[in-house]
Structure 1
Amino acid sequence: MAHRIFDYNLEKLLDSLSSKASVSKFYTTKMGNHQDRLFGLFLCYNFVETQKCENCIASAIQDIKNRCENRNEAVMWEENCELRYSNESFFGTLDVTGNIFQYNSENVSDDELGQFISVVNNTLHKLSRLAAFNASYDRRHSTVSTVAGQICLKDRVSHTRLGL
């Protein structure tokens, strides 16, 4: 019986997420009560057009249904969006379990690597503080891009040129 309640709540959660993709690029929702509650979200990158966002979320929902059957939680990364659900609340929580941290030193000389890492870390620190503590800042996206899980800056710049 509990499995059927979970499946019902999951279907309703995914339907809710799908219906919001035509009007928003970021959405969170909850479905069910107490031990049967599910949490879900989607986000599309800011530069993605609304129709592409909607298509991406629809594709992610199909992929989750096909690849993650009978799972309490799942995350699906598509080219232009992310879709996630879980039976535990993850809203506002960073989970780096299973992540592999790598530094890409390509195009940065050994002499400049320390400075480059420092600039990246300081930039991310400033962006996270800006997103967390500035009420007027749009928290759904930033001017720093992520590509395949890697942080990308347009070029190596000094701390003062970043203007953050």
Structure 2
Amino acid sequence: MSQHNFFVIAMTWLFTGTIVLVVLGQPYTAYYPYCSNTDNYTMASEYQVNLVSLMSDLPQGAINNRGFYTSMAGEAPDRVYGLTMCYVDRNWTQCQDCVRAAAAGVQQTCPFSREMEACYDACILRYSNVPFFSVADPTTAVYMFLRSSVVSDAPSMVAARQTLMSQLAAGAAAAESSPQLLGLANGSVGYTDSLGAQQVIYGLTQCTRDLNASECTRCLTETVNDLSSTFPNDTYGAVKAYSCYVVYSVGGDFLTITLPP
């Protein structure tokens, strides 16, 4: 999707700002990351040592596991839990670069925080001092729009989009039962606009692969509802939550699954 002109609107009442990391000369933006600000760890503490160890493990784990990995480092009370995942509509090079950059930059993104959640263009990264695997966090991190591009017949598009995204949410939840399916679903549906023209809307839903079907459904239900209310007549819209991702496009299928088989 790099050929398209995107801009980002974020929930600024929840987050503090974007963080741009520069890793090997390349910028990587963490869109309005969540950084905890209580009980912060200190320099050279056991928690920091464990965090560094975890971040050295996560990227290669994800690269070896088709773009998703969970791990932990250390012992209680300083154990750190971490998760990273690539968005499946980004290419494999973007995926690998993103997880490496995100892991390398966590202490720059959230200095001394015991908990962090951040969405990037091609991946997501989370860590915490408490276990969070298998529990969905449907909090919206960022919305993504195509600049100034709307449909001429919103009611027809909205009806088709709701049908498609509901089907894909169910498909992604069902896919959580099979590691080979990556917790995602994509597809398309046609509709006729008010001028009689045939249109096609494409969509994709994705959950982090630690979730079971019910937790994936819970995350996607909230995120699809958010998508519907935020994009009333846009030709493209995406919502990135911390445990799931939904995106649609009218008239152009650039939601290609690109992770390795």
Mind listing any 5+ residue stretches in structure 1 that lack a counterpart?
Answer: 156-164
Measured at CA, do residues 131 and 94 of structure 1 come closer, stay the same or move farther in structure 2, by a change above 3 Å? same
Equivalent position of 2:254 in the other structure: none
Mind listing any 5+ residue stretches in structure 2 that lack a counterpart?
Answer: 1-40, 144-149, 187-203, 207-237, 241-245, 252-261
Offset at residue 98 of structure 1 (A):
5.6
Measured at CA, do residues 89 and 74 of structure 1 come closer, stay the same or move farther in structure 2, by a change above 3 Å? same
3-state SS in 2 of match to 1:82: strand
Q: 1:10 aligns with which of 51, 61, 69?
A: 51
Measured at CA, do residues 131 and 153 of structure 1 come closer, stay the same or move farther in structure 2, by a change above 3 Å? farther
Q: 1:151 aligns with which of 229, 247, 252?
A: 247
1:36 aligns with 2:78: yes
Measured at CA, do residues 132 and 45 of structure 1 come closer, stay the same or move farther in structure 2, by a change above 3 Å? closer
TM-score, normalised relative to structure 1? 0.71
Cα deviation code 1:37-71 (max 9, x no counterpart) = 2111111233522x433221121123322120111
Which structure carries more strand by proportion? 2
Equivalent position of 1:139 in the other structure: 182
Q: Identity percentage over the alignment?
A: 22
Equivalent position of 1:158 in the other structure: none
Worse overlay, 123-132 or 30-39 = 123-132
Counterpart CA distance in 2 for 1:129 and 1:140 is 7
Worse overlay, 77-86 or 16-25 = 16-25
Offset at residue 136 of structure 1 (A):
6.6
TM-score, normalised relative to structure 2? 0.48
RMSD over equivalenced CA pairs, Å: 3.4
Q: Is the 1:21–1:53 contact (alpha carbons within 8 Å) kept by the matching residues of 2?
A: no
3-state SS in 1 of match to 2:82: strand
